[in-house]
C-alpha cells in the first residue's frame, strides 16, 4: 500500500537560525500521527511546510511526497494544486480560514461544489446544511464569521476541510477553544475520518486528544524530535525527560491551589440580561468578584461566556441590569483574548507594540523583561510580527501585555 504522505529530512530556517531540523514521517491510509510539544517547538511549522504556506521570511528544505506527487520542500507551487482535493488543513486560528464577508453555509457549499465535485446525489447546499447540523451549528447558516464564538468558528473550519474530501488531513490544534463535549465530538469525527481511510496528522497540546486518536506520536522540543513511538507506549511510559515533563504538566496532575481570603469588592453585576442575533443568551444573572477570587464561567460554545466577559469589561452595554466597578481605573480591567492573532497589530513587531504600551501608560520597559522570563519567552521573540510566532507563544505575549498594566 502506497503512502499518502512521506516527509524526508524536513528543515525550516529563519536566516541562519534553524527552527526545525530533520523531521521524517510516513502516513498510510487510516493511520494517525500526532505531534506534541510546548508552543514554539515547531509543530505548526511542520504543517505549514508540508502545505507550502510558510511565511516568506522562512526557508524550507527536504523532500515531501503527497500521494504520488514528490517535490522539494521549498517548491511550494508544486503542492498548492493539491490543496483541498488531496490534502486538507484545519488551521490553528479558524478565522484565518474563513471568508469574513460570506455566510458560513455558502462557504461550505462552495467547497462541496467546486472542490469535492463527486459528493454524490445530494445537492451541495443540502450537504453543507447537514455538515453544519452535525457539528451543532443548525440555525447559524446565515451567520458571518465575526458573529461566531471561537468554538463555532473552529467547527465551521472543520466542516469546510471535511467537505473537500481530501484523503490526507492535517489538523493544527483542532480542539482549541472547544468545550469538553464539542472536543469529544471533533475527536469522534477525526476518528471516523480515519476509519474511512484518511491519513491524519494532528498537532495538539492536549494529551487526551492524542491518546484518543491513537496511532503514533512524535514529541518535539526546540524544533527537534526527542521521542517517538506508539501513542500508548509514549504517553504511559515516557523515556525522555522532556516528554516526562509534558505528561507531568497535565492539569489533572496539578496540586490544588490554597484558598484565598476574599478581599474588597471589585465588581458587581445585578440582574444582567443579554441577547445576540435575536437569541436570548442569559437573563437575571448576578455576579460579584472580590480581590483574590478566581471565578470560572463554563458552558457550551455559543452560550454567552465571551459576551458576559465583554459586558463585565464594559466593551458592550447590557440589555438589562447594571454593572458596578468599584474604585478601579479603566485599564485595571484586562482581557486575554481567545484569538491572540486578532489582538495585535499585524504589521508591527511585538516589541514595538509592547514598548508603545509601556510609553502610553508610563510603565518601565524593564518590567517587560521580567514578565517574559516568567512566561518562558525569549526576548528575541519580540522582534517578530504576530504572524511569526506560534499561537501559544503569542498568547503568552498577550498575557505579559495584560500584566504590564
CATH number of the domain enclosing 75? 3.40.50.300
Residue 360 lies in a domain: yes
304 and 206 belong to one structural domain: no
Please tell me whether residue 131 adopts helix, strand or coil conformation: helix
Residue 332 lies in a domain: no
Q: 229-233, 382-386, 401-405 — which one is most confidently predicted on average?
A: 229-233
pLDDT value at residue 166: 92
pLDDT band at 129 (very low <50, low <70, confident <90, very high): very high
110 and 35 belong to one structural domain: yes
353 and 288 belong to one structural domain: no
Q: How big, in percent rounded to 5, are the helix, strand and coil portions of the chain? A: 40, 25, 40
pLDDT tens per residue across span 11-20: 999 888 899 9
pLDDT value at residue 119: 65
The domain boundary residue, chosen from 253, 282, 312 = 253
* Residue for grid cell 441590569: 321
The domain boundary residue, chosen from 196, 225, 253 = 253
Residue 366 lies in a domain: yes
59 and 137 belong to one structural domain: yes
pLDDT value at residue 351: 92
The C-alpha cell at 115 is 472542490
Give CA–CA dist 266/334, Å, rounded.
13
Please tell me whether residue 262 adopts helix, strand or coil conformation: coil
* Average pLDDT value for residue range 242-268: 87
246 and 290 belong to one structural domain: no
- Nearest residue to 385 via CA among 139, 55, 112, 110: 55
Q: Is the pLDDT of residue 397 over 70?
A: yes
50 and 137 belong to one structural domain: yes
Q: First and final CA of the chain: distance in angstroms?
A: 58
278 and 243 belong to one structural domain: no
pLDDT tens per residue across span 98-123: 999 999 999 999 999 988 877 678 89
The domain boundary residue, chosen from 223, 253, 283 = 253
Q: Where are the alpha helices (DSSP H) in 4-100?
A: 43-51, 77-80
345 and 300 belong to one structural domain: no
pLDDT tens per residue across span 18-64: 999 999 999 999 999 999 998 888 898 999 999 998 888 889 999 99
Min mean pLDDT across 163-172, 204-213, 276-285 is at 276-285
pLDDT value at residue 364: 87
Q: Where are the alpha helices (DSSP H) in 237-364?
A: 241-248, 305-313, 350-360
pLDDT band at 229 (very low <50, low <70, confident <90, very high): very high
Residue 245 lies in a domain: yes
The C-alpha cell at 3 is 503512502
Q: Is the pLDDT of residue 210 over 90?
A: yes
Q: Is the pLDDT of residue 92 over 80?
A: no
Residue 335 lies in a domain: no
284 and 383 belong to one structural domain: no
Domain count, the chain: 3
235 and 309 belong to one structural domain: no
* Average pLDDT value for residue range 194-205: 94
* Average pLDDT value for residue range 130-157: 88
321 and 202 belong to one structural domain: no
118 and 143 belong to one structural domain: yes
The C-alpha cell at 19 is 527552527
The boundaries of the domain holding residue 295 are 265-326
Residue 334 lies in a domain: no
Residue 316 lies in a domain: yes
Residues whose CB is less than 8 angstroms from the CB of residue 294 and which lie 6 or more positions away in sequence, other chains included: 257, 260
Residue 333 lies in a domain: no
Amino acid at each position: 500500500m502506497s503512502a499518502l504522505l512521506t516527509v524526508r529530512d524536513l528543515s525550516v530556517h529563519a536566516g541562519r537560525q534553524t527552527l526545525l531540523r530533520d523531521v521524517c514521517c510516513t502516513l498510510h491510509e487510516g493511520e494517525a500521527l500526532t505531534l506534541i510539544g510546548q508552543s514554539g517547538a515547531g509543530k505548526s511549522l511542520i504543517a505549514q511546510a508540508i502545505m507550502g504556506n510558510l511565511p516568506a521570511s522562512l526557508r524550507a528544505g527536504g523532500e515531501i511526497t503527497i500521494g504520488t506527487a514528490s517535490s522539494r520542500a521549498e517548491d511550494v507551487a508544486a503542492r498548492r494544486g493539491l490543496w483541498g482535493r488531496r490534502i486538507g488543513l484545519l488551521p490553528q486560528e479558524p478565522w484565518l480560514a474563513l471568508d469574513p464577508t460570506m455566510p458560513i453555509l455558502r462557504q461550505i457549499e462552495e467547497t462541496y461544489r467546486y472542490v469535492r465535485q463527486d459528493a454524490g446525489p445530494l445537492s451541495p447546499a443540502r450537504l453543507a446544511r447537514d455538515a453544519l447540523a452535525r457539528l451543532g451549528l443548525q440555525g447559524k447558516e446565515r451567520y458571518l464569521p465575526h458573529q461566531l464564538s471561537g468554538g463555532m468558528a473552529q467547527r465551521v473550519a472543520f466542516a469546510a476541510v471535511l467537505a473537500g474530501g481530501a484523503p490526507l488531513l492535517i489538523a493544527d490544534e483542532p480542539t482549541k477553544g472547544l468545550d469538553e463535549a464539542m472536543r469529544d465530538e471533533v475527536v469522534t469525527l477525526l476518528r471516523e475520518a480515519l476509519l474511512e481511510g484518511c491519513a491524519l496528522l494532528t498537532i495538539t497540546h492536549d494529551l487526551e486528544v492524542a491518546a484518543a486518536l491513537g496511532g503514533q506520536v512524535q514529541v518535539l522540543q526546540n524544533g527537534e524530535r526527542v521521542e517517538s513511538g506508539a501513542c500508548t507506549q509514549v504517553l504511559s511510559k515516557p523515556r525522555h525527560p522532556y516528554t516526562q515533563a509534558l505528561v507531568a504538566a497535565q492539569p489533572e496532575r496539578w496540586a490544588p491551589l490554597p484558598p484565598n481570603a476574599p478581599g474588597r469588592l471589585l465588581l458587581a453585576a445585578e440582574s444582567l440580561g443579554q441577547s445576540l442575533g435575536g437569541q436570548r443568551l442569559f437573563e437575571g444573572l448576578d455576579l460579584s468578584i472580590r480581590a483574590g477570587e478566581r471565578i470560572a464561567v463554563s458552558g457550551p460554545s455559543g452560550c454567552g461566556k465571551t459576551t458576559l466577559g465583554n459586558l463585565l469589561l464594559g466593551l458592550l452595554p447590557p440589555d438589562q441590569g447594571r454593572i458596578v466597578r468599584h474604585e478601579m481605573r479603566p485599564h485595571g480591567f484586562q482581557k486575554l483574548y481567545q484569538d491572540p492573532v486578532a489582538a495585535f497589530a499585524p504589521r508591527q513587531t511585538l516589541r514595538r507594540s509592547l514598548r508603545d504600551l509601556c510609553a502610553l501608560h508610563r510603565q518601565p520597559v524593564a518590567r517587560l523583561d521580567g514578565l517574559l522570563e516568567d512566561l518562558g519567552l525569549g526576548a528575541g521573540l519580540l522582534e517578530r510580527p504576530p504572524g511569526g510566532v506560534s499561537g501559544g507563544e503569542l498568547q503568552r505575549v498577550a498575557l505579559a501585555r495584560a500584566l504590564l498594566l
